[in-house]
Structure 1
Amino acid sequence: MSTAAQPVSLSAARWGEAISKALMPFEVLAASPSGIDGRLVVRKSNGVSIVEIESGPHRAARPGFDRAAPPACVLALQVQGTASMDFGGTPFVMRPGDVGIYSTQSRCTFRTDDDYRGIAVQFSPAAVAVPGLDVLARDGLTIPADQGLVPALAGLLVSLSDSLDTIATAARPRAIGGLLNLVGSVLIDEISDPMEPARGSVPVLHRLHRYIDDHLGEPDLDVASIARAHFVSTRYVHAVFQDSGETAAGRIRGRRIEGACRTLADPAFSTVPVARIASWWGFTSASHFGRIFREAVGMTPAMFRSSALAD
């Protein structure tokens, strides 16, 4: 079953047994009474398991764990289709290229669609030697496809999964070591404390402020896009803003409102519809803009414009 060339139909119990043997224990519920059409390919080298998974829709839950069992880490790469990964909070929708990293001691739930394909890697925490991996046992990590080193990691993992059987036996430890080194770099970027000089660092904060001001008109401006543009993690961005008295999201919202106020108060734009002005400043809908504006200013955009132009 672990080396089936084509998907085979299995009961939820049998699929659960296969997944549990390959990675860690899960309770599986199939979306269809006929079971799950799935395929597992398990490759092991130097204490690391690389598991290719194809399956139909199902739910896999891990409500608890065996504290006596040695902990291990699992990295899951979404290759095809969509899935959701929930560590007890808001589910994260996994799309192709996204990565989830969690511990075998995590409480987690996965849901897959009917066209799921992924690659999972199980490894010992000692193999990556990254401080702070206890965060994985608490709530896991999910990282978007375009963040930091994730594209490089995804490309290497897919290539290694496809070619591991053909690599010379003597070369496999180096190949696996290269993969784990890259995994460690991704983890350091994501879960380690940001570099202390950057926390509250005025030059870095000013650079982020300038970037925000230059992109206020873009609807997709958010913490994630700021992090991508500066090749850092979202945690790093949050840490830079931590001592400034405002959050990155609050800065974006506040600067957009300030800009909208200037435009609404400018006689040159007195005939421009409020909705158009809202879109100039990155708001995607007039109703959303109106609500945010009223919360910040204490009156509607139309009332503010009338008052400003009457002065």
Structure 2
Amino acid sequence: MAVLTPRATPVLDFPQFRAAVNQSFVPLRVTSVRETRFRGAIRHADSTDLHVSVVEAAEHMVERTPALIAARPGGYFKVGLHLAGNGLLVQGNREVVLQPGALTLYDTARPYSLAFDGDFRSLVLMFPSRMLDLPATSVAELTASGLHEERGAATLLLPYLYALAQHPEAVTGSTGTRLARNTVDLVATVLAERLAITAGPDDPRRELFTAALQYIDDHLSSPHLDPARIAAAHFVSSRLLHGLFREHGMSVATRVRTRRLERARARLADPTHTRQSVMSVAVECGFTDAAHFSRAYRAEFGCSPSQTRAACLSTFPQTLTQGENR
């Protein structure tokens, strides 16, 4: 097939490609009218929370159905940069035509479909939805819409994604965890800009919510960070603050806990922090009790803090060695 490049190896037949899609992403139904002549390939790289794939294939359709979602709920967002060929993304009551340069967002927790009418190439980023520090209900307004208009932060994101499509392995190096986080932050900035344009300048509740989210991130190290303190910092009642967070499908306490755990995980997976003890990381992220931190961490990520640190050391042992030899 004309669109495949030497970088995208090995070339897969349809059954192999269908299996690779389901291994690389969330469970999906993959169909094609030309299975016997099908060729495709997926080149991918993983960081702690970011999965980067370059997908090249012939005509086919991908569907995230209600049954597949029920069998394995997926709390992930995908960002796609279409590089070659044509396609169509449908989610909810919106659809967007995929042509070279199209930048789109879709949510694996809701049904969607992708249809490609011929050979194509696309970059796909997949990351947990909890990594976007934006209201879920607001982000839902941007799925299956074109985000590629070159203005604001998009003028920085698009060239970066084109470069990442050439070097997806960049997210796996010793700075991969940090680069992955920066990638998602840049995506979030583009989405936040788009939401601000959609909302207009006079939306005090959205501004208050955004300010509260930022305050939480800026004060995660404080063990006294609680709803009352956050409300007081913004001169509103705790009742109003709780109601505002409920409007966006979350609670204040859950947001604080989740962001603390995410920061702790990023530190533990970062090879530049390997000489910092697990408890020191916990305290830095606002936890004062080691047992509570360990239980909360395991409940959130399915492993202990020590296991995350051990995985980092096994992947980048040279980082610790170099630090000790200085």
TM-score for the superposition, normalised by structure 2: 0.53
**Residue 45 of structure 2 corresponds to which residue in structure 1?**
43
**Residue 149 of structure 2 corresponds to which residue in structure 1?**
146
- In 2, Cα distance between the equivalents of 1:168 and 1:49? 10
**Residue 89 of structure 2 corresponds to which residue in structure 1?**
85
- In 2, Cα distance between the equivalents of 1:76 and 1:168? 19
Change beyond 3 A, Cα 1:191–1:19: farther
Superposed CA offset, 1:53-79 (max 9, x none): 000011111221137635111111101
The one-letter amino acid paired with 1:119 is L
- In 2, Cα distance between the equivalents of 1:99 and 1:177? 19
On the 8 A contact 2:49/2:180 being kept in 1, the answer is no
Instruction: Measure how far apart 1:23 and its partner are.
Output: 1.4
- In 2, Cα distance between the equivalents of 1:131 and 1:150? 20
Superposed CA offset, 1:108-130 (max 9, x none): 11111322000111111222211
The one-letter amino acid paired with 2:30 is V
- In 2, Cα distance between the equivalents of 1:127 and 1:86? 23
Are 1:8 and 2:22 counterparts?
no
**Residue 64 of structure 2 corresponds to which residue in structure 1?**
62
The one-letter amino acid paired with 1:79 is L
- In 2, Cα distance between the equivalents of 1:19 and 1:125? 20
Instruction: Measure how far apart 1:26 and its partner are.
Output: 1.3
The one-letter amino acid paired with 1:20 is N
Instruction: Measure how far apart 1:52 and its partner are.
Output: 0.6
- In 1, Cα distance between the equivalents of 2:192 and 2:117? 31
Q: Percent identity, aligned pairs only?
A: 17
Instruction: Measure how far apart 1:31 and its partner are.
Output: 2.7
Instruction: Measure how far apart 1:4 and its partner are.
Output: 7.5
On the 8 A contact 1:83/1:111 being kept in 2, the answer is yes
Superposed CA offset, 1:116-159 (max 9, x none): 000111111222211235653x8823225324333432211221
Are 1:73 and 2:89 counterparts?
no
Change beyond 3 A, Cα 1:130–1:90: closer
The one-letter amino acid paired with 2:64 is R
2:120 to 116, 120, 126: 116
**Residue 171 of structure 1 corresponds to which residue in structure 2?**
175
Instruction: Measure how far apart 1:196 and its partner are.
Output: 4.0
Superposed CA offset, 1:59-102 (max 9, x none): 11122113763511111110111110111435321111111211
Secondary structure of residue in 2 paired with 1:31: coil
Change beyond 3 A, Cα 1:30–1:157: same
On the 8 A contact 2:96/2:144 being kept in 1, the answer is no
Which runs of 5 or more residues in structure 2 are unaligned?
Answer: 1-5, 205-326
Change beyond 3 A, Cα 1:30–1:183: same
Which runs of 5 or more residues in structure 1 are unaligned?
Answer: 200-311
> Using CA pairs below 8 Å that are at least 6 residues apart, which structure has the higher relative contact order?
2
TM-score for the superposition, normalised by structure 1: 0.55
Provide the aligned C-alpha RMSD in A.
2.9
The one-letter amino acid paired with 1:140 is T
- In 2, Cα distance between the equivalents of 1:184 and 1:175? 14
Q: How does 1:1-311 map to 2 (within 5 A)?
A: 5-6=8-9, 8-11=11-14, 13-64=15-66, 65-66=69-70, 69-89=73-93, 91-133=95-137, 135-136=139-140, 140-148=143-151, 149-165=153-169, 169-191=173-195, 194-197=199-202
Q: Between Structure 1 and Structure 2, whose CA radius of gyration is higher?
A: 1
Secondary structure of residue in 2 paired with 1:86: strand
